Amino acid sequence: MGKSSEELDQTLKGDGRQPDVAHDISPFMAPPRGSPALRSAPSSIAGVSRPLLPPSMPPARARAPVVVLTGTPGTGKTTHAQLLQQASPVPLQHINVGDWVKDKGLYQDYDDEWQSYTVDEDKLLDELEPLAAAGGIILDWHTSDIFPERWPDLVVVLRCDHSKLWDRLEKRGYPLKKIQENNEAEIMEVVLDEVRSSYPPEIVVELQSETTDDLEANVARIVQWIEAWREDHDTSDQ
Ligand SMILES: Nc1ncnc2c1ncn2[C@@H]1O[C@H](COP(=O)(O)OP(=O)(O)OP(=O)(O)O)[C@@H](O)[C@H]1O
């Protein structure tokens, strides 16, 4: 069933990576690309804001869902994606979109000052379109509002207390300016705002990602959602 705390610890310790240019593809550091107006803050972010429900009228198109895992850099998207991939009852391809952009050259240029790539959104969407249509993917990125509304079956926004987030980003060796930008973005709920203005509320869920318990509970919950999605889609005879 769930992972032992030892295994979870191992997953978490395993991060230890150095700052990677792929993780510099940050909407918070790049020159503004239509960043959303900061609307009034949603209510409490403590815990889950709404029940995680399967879609009621699913399109019969895929054997497995498209799950978007988003959140400010450092909130735990990749860690969740890796564990979800292992725990999922259906095969899911984990796409770290930042890495894709870098590896496949899906960018226009690199901004030295902001240490950030300017993503070529058209190229990126063209690359991802067939995968999204086939289903069975986890899209792991801090920018989620460029994905067409029809793509995701579930959008998970990970949240983290800003002081914890600061520590995580500091451990990565991010420059102070970049830590501040991302920290402020988390406080101002920039990603959550983007998601809320891009996708229907019934497919959006906000989850805390501060502890290993959160991590384990979140993954278990998404797995449950996938089970429900499968039943809804009756994938048994495909
Ligand atoms: N729920 C959690 N509990 C404890 N530590 C966590 C949790 N989620 C993530 N972490 C730790 O925080 C760090 C950042 O996690 P991770 O790389 O998964 O974030 P990310 O959102 O994918 O970042 P980026 O957008 O920059 O790729 C890692 O060291 C990871 O182990």
Q: Which domain holds residue 130?
A: 61-231
In a domain, 148, yes or no: yes
pLDDT of residue 235: 62
CATH number of the domain encompassing residue 164: 3.40.50.300
In a domain, 109, yes or no: yes
Q: How confident is the model at residue 114 (pLDDT cuts 50, 70, 90)?
A: low
Checking if the pLDDT of 183 tops 60, the result is yes
Q: How far is the CA of 235 from the centre of ligand 1 (A)?
A: 32
By mean pLDDT, which of 2-6, 35-39, 97-101, 148-152 is the weakest?
Answer: 35-39
94 CB less than 6 Å from ligand 1? no
In a domain, 191, yes or no: yes
Q: How many domains are there within the chain?
A: 1
Q: Which tens digit of pLDDT belongs to each residue from 148-167?
A: 999 999 999 999 999 999 99
In a domain, 112, yes or no: yes
pLDDT of residue 169: 96
pLDDT of residue 234: 74
* Contact yes or no for 129/140 (Cβ under 8 A): no
Q: What is the ipTM of this complex?
A: 0.98
142 CB less than 6 Å from ligand 1? yes
Q: Which tens digit of pLDDT belongs to each residue from 197-230?
A: 999 999 999 999 999 999 999 999 999 999 999 9
Burial 117-129 (b: 16+ CB within 10 A, else e): bbbbeeebeebbe
- Torsion over CA: 86, 88, 90, 94 (sign): negative
Query: Is residue 74 annotated as involved in ligand binding?
Result: yes
In a domain, 131, yes or no: yes
Q: How many residues does the chain have?
A: 238
pLDDT of residue 229: 95
pLDDT of residue 112: 76
Q: How confident is the model at residue 52 (pLDDT cuts 50, 70, 90)?
A: low
Query: Is residue 78 annotated as involved in ligand binding?
Result: yes
pLDDT of residue 148: 96
Q: How far is the CA of 166 from the centre of ligand 1 (A)?
A: 11
Q: How far is the CA of 3 from the centre of ligand 1 (A)?
A: 17
In a domain, 196, yes or no: yes
In a domain, 172, yes or no: yes
Checking if the pLDDT of 66 tops 50, the result is yes
In a domain, 210, yes or no: yes
